[in-house]
Amino acid sequence: MTAFVNCPTVDIEDDRTGLSVETLRRALADNLFYIQGKWPEVASTNDFYLALAYTVRDRMMPRWLSSTRTLMKPEVRVVTYLSAEFLLGPHLGRNLINLGIEEPVKQAVAESGLDFTELIAQEEEPGLGNGGLGRLAACYMESLASEQIPAIGYGIRYEFGIFDQEIRDGWQCEITDKWLQYGNPWEIPHPEASVTVGFGGHTEGYTDSDGRFRKRWIPGKQVKGIPYDTPIPGYRVNTVNTLRLWKAEAVESFDFQSFNVGNYYGAVDSKVTSENISKVLYPNDEQLEGKQLRLEQQYFFTACALQDMIRIHLASGRKLDSFCEKFTAQMNDTHPAVAVAELMRLLVDEHGMGWDEAWAVTQKTLAYTNHTLLPEALEKWSLSLFGSLLPRHLEIIFEINQRFMDDMRVRYMNDPGKLAALSLIDDNDGGYVRMANLASLGSYAINGVAALHSELVKKTILKDFHELFPGKIRNVTNGVTPRRWIALANPRLAALYTEKIGDGWLHNLEEIGQLEGYADDPGFRAHWRQIKRDIKQELATYIYQRTGIAVSPDSMFDILVKRIHEYKRQHLDVLHIITLYERLKANPNLDMAPRTFIFGGKAAPGYAMAKLMIKFITAVGDVINHDPTIGDRLKVVFLPDYNVKFGQRVYPAADLSEQISTAGKEASGTGNMKFSMNGALTIGTLDGANVEIRELVGDDNFFLFGLTTDGVDALKASGYNPWDYYTSNPQLKEVIDLVQSGFFAKGDSNLFRPLTDKLLYDDPFMLMADYQSYIDCQDRIGAAYQDQEHWSRLSIINAVRMGKFSSDRAIRDYCRDIWQVSPAPVEMMAYDQSQAGLRV
């Protein structure tokens, strides 16, 4: 028969795809025996976890391979998502939910005498990202699959992801993240699909066989990119998309030249340097790292991705002039912006396309997402570094720029300022390539990540591009996946939603709006409170285990978790804590809602002020938590090692979500959405997506404070002087004075000096200006929390109005407004669908 190309036809309960509890149990035992090579008596928890993971992976394979086949069809349009970071979080729980096999698997695990919760907890999460940007890429991969959009994510398989954080004596310590050390059951390497990537060397001109003058690049070194594929299943659909992460290896493990002259060490050395490229994730969030290796990483994965896309396209029998019909490639920030030059190089140098046609194809293929306006995060590379690593690409960028500037000179005759602003090259200090300009010019669309942010992009960094190409800059407000951030993180809340309105909300989050009427139902409110109380109790237990601090689940959980950064203003939260502490010391009988302040977040290892902010939080906590006159009324906890797993515990346990960045600095935020979806009320500035959250939940359900973006600009323009706030606000003065006295530093009045001095004499993020407004707002919150029925009402209304912030909606926005791509449901190939037991 001809069935060889098809998925296995399943007649009986196949050991690898069957879903009865009995079959799952047998598969688990088989995998332990045949893959882990262990008898149950000697197997570790990790062995059992791996056996379970393989059991689940097998059940994804028919869908995964069918999805890949769909994607290869010439007429199917495909989205590729190019991102230096994918902060995925654990796979197992998400896969069970999306495949709809949680129940039988749980039962099979239980009947095998194993603890399901323990196995889930065993998974080491792939921390291949820093924060919001990487997590967004992960949510988008999941929603692309759930929306049945054929897609490939391209990135780097870092051997070491974001460091693990430990807190010692209140200071952050970084520990290497060895996430691969006990095996990764979710990836499949494909060495047969490896590609070669060049670096350095020189370029030369030549005349081709048609007599045309051409350029070619003679790289000084070559590195092999090996793809590792990870399946990303959509929610209850056949689509299982691929995340393709590249590992760098030496082209030859041995340099035989060196080997033959007896230099064994030198022979292996080139292998080591090649592999450095995918060794470690740069741990900077919102901060440029101008190192050569970082540019090598960016070029490496971008070049691997584009070669892979061209291979797929040509394999379907089509020509490269239709490349932009087959693919749209989204650049997640400027990290892959060298794609503009690399695609031009591939089309022109390697595939002999004419410049103008290649430029049209490039511009119609690429699209760019801007994630930041912070000057310290805007990527630029010195011409000398760029030219030595990518000489041909620099020539191409110069050529693109020359043609662009020629056009612009005609358009803006006497406006050198315009030309300088639009140029791909910054002429200062020996010259730089501006990656945001390169990405903007080489793309067919640019988008910001929240309504306010997109408007600010148009008004500030890309103002001149906006004027030149009206309509090119759009907005796609970020979103998060409700499968991970509600169903997996908060199963009780998910069960309540499903009990009341069915489970359609998991596909279409807007449906939770139907629950709004329940805000007036006292029984529902009581149930709502009980759910929150239970999760807070679980978090309290975890806090006690991790830190030894006992906190009361009856206090308000006031939570600030995100990367530590001055613009995010963790220290403003601390000023509030000290204010409350001083009030309680002055008036021990003060009636106030007890609060537990919970912080979490990693600081970039080279960011001294952020590390000092962690020490500040822990030091203030040390004093307050041990002050017997305070008791349960104030507790301050810094929970180490904020990551996705940690987030799944923390977001659902919050009463209050702190979103307190200086207006205009946070592009969108996604933590704000996760909190809100889980019933936390927000205290926030008019920044990022807070603006849209507030619009939807209503002014009465959002605790707003602080300067607006215009207010910030006006105050800066009028000559901001933070010292004036210190001298004119006695409460603020008392707080700062207490810190400066060394009270929280065992008498050391120098420890926090850098922090207080920066506030008093510079204060670029305007904490001093926003302090009083923040305190007043917190006082209103304290009062509102005292009335629990009222608070529950606000909490319910707030949560059920979050429908918009599903990443499914964001992906639909991209499909409609940018990518022009439609769902392509996956057809299972000669596969008995009833065996999968899934909705198709």
**Which CB atom, from 277 or from 639, has the smaller least distance to ligand PLP?**
639
Residue 280: strand, helix, or coil? strand
If one counts every other C-beta atom within 10 angstroms of the C-beta of residue 711, the result is: 16
Half-sphere exposure of 22 (CA within 13 A, CB side): 3
Is-catalytic flag, 563?
yes
Q: Taking CB positions, which residue lies at the least distance from ligand PLP? A: 671
**Which CB atom, from 128 or from 457, has the smaller least distance to ligand PLP?**
128
d(CA 619, CA 171): 10
- Catalytic option among 466, 674, 758, 801: 674
Report the nearest approach of ligand PLP to the CB of residue 487 (Å).
15
Residue 381: strand, helix, or coil? strand
What would the two tokens of residue 332 be? 């997640």
**Which CB atom, from 377 or from 501, has the smaller least distance to ligand PLP?**
377
Contact 314, 167 (CB under 8 A): no
- Catalytic option among 25, 313, 536, 562: 562
What would the two tokens of residue 254 be? 């041995």
**Residue that the structure tokens 């304290």 belong to:** 782
Is-catalytic flag, 568?
yes
**Which CB atom, from 674 or from 801, has the smaller least distance to ligand PLP?**
674
Q: Which residues bind ligand PLP (CB under 6 A)?
A: 87, 131-132, 135, 562, 642-644, 647, 669-671, 674
Report the nearest approach of ligand PLP to the CB of residue 53 (Å).
22
From 126, 86, 12, 97, select the one nearest 491 (Cα to Cα). 97
d(CA 66, CA 640): 42
Report the nearest approach of ligand PLP to the CB of residue 126 (Å).
12
Report the nearest approach of ligand PLP to the CB of residue 68 (Å).
29
Number of H helices, E strands in the chain: 34, 25
Contact 290, 381 (CB under 8 A): yes
Residue 659: strand, helix, or coil? strand
**Which CB atom, from 326 or from 809, has the smaller least distance to ligand PLP?**
809
Contact 267, 256 (CB under 8 A): yes
**Which CB atom, from 153 or from 647, has the smaller least distance to ligand PLP?**
647
From 255, 557, 215, select the one nearest 398 (Cα to Cα). 215
Which DSSP string corresponds to 129-149? --SHHHHHHHHHHHHHHHTT-
Which DSSP string corresponds to 179-245? TTTT--TT-EE-GGG-EEEEES-EEEEEE-TTS-EEEEEE-SEEEEEEEEEEEEE-TTSS-EEEEEE
- Catalytic option among 568, 595, 602, 801: 568
From 157, 307, 793, 778, select the one nearest 521 (Cα to Cα). 793
36, 669, 704 from 456: Cα distances, Å: 54, 15, 20
**Residue that the structure tokens 């043609």 belong to:** 403
From 670, 667, 812, select the one nearest 79 (Cα to Cα). 812
Is-catalytic flag, 602?
no
**Which CB atom, from 296 or from 692, has the smaller least distance to ligand PLP?**
692
Contact 10, 19 (CB under 8 A): no
- Catalytic option among 135, 157, 371, 602: 371
| Beta pairing, strands 221-233 & 213-218 | unpaired
Report the nearest approach of ligand PLP to the CB of residue 652 (Å).
12
Report the nearest approach of ligand PLP to the CB of residue 609 (Å).
17
- Catalytic option among 670, 682, 685, 709: 670
What would the two tokens of residue 206 be? 């030549």
What would the two tokens of residue 697 be? 């939940």
- What is the separation of C-alpha 773 from the centre of its chain, rounded to a whole number of angstroms? 31
Contact 456, 664 (CB under 8 A): yes
Report the nearest approach of ligand PLP to the CB of residue 191 (Å).
32
**Which CB atom, from 329 or from 654, has the smaller least distance to ligand PLP?**
654
**Which CB atom, from 137 or from 436, has the smaller least distance to ligand PLP?**
137
545, 548, 580, 593 from 540: Cα distances, Å: 9, 10, 22, 17
Is-catalytic flag, 463?
no
d(CA 235, CA 483): 8
158, 192, 309, 331, 791 from 153: Cα distances, Å: 15, 19, 11, 11, 41
Half-sphere exposure of 27 (CA within 13 A, CB side): 26
**Which CB atom, from 63 or from 568, has the smaller least distance to ligand PLP?**
568
- Catalytic option among 563, 615, 793, 809: 563
Report the nearest approach of ligand PLP to the CB of residue 87 (Å).
6
**Which CB atom, from 18 or from 89, has the smaller least distance to ligand PLP?**
89
DSSP 395: H
Report the nearest approach of ligand PLP to the CB of residue 208 (Å).
50
Catalogue the E-assigned strands of 489-581: 556-561
CA angle 73, 136, 390 (to 5 degrees): 70
**Which CB atom, from 329 or from 667, has the smaller least distance to ligand PLP?**
667
**Straight-line distance from the first to the last Cα atom of the chain, in angstroms, rounded to the nearest whole number:** 27
d(CA 546, CA 101): 32
Report the nearest approach of ligand PLP to the CB of residue 665 (Å).
11
Report the nearest approach of ligand PLP to the CB of residue 82 (Å).
20
Report the nearest approach of ligand PLP to the CB of residue 686 (Å).
16
Collect all residues with Cβ–Cβ distance below 8 Å to 403 and sequence separation of at least 6. none
Report the nearest approach of ligand PLP to the CB of residue 280 (Å).
18
**Which CB atom, from 328 or from 478, has the smaller least distance to ligand PLP?**
478
State the SS3 of 523-536: HHHHHHHHHHHHHH
The residues assigned a catalytic role are: 371, 562-563, 568, 670, 674
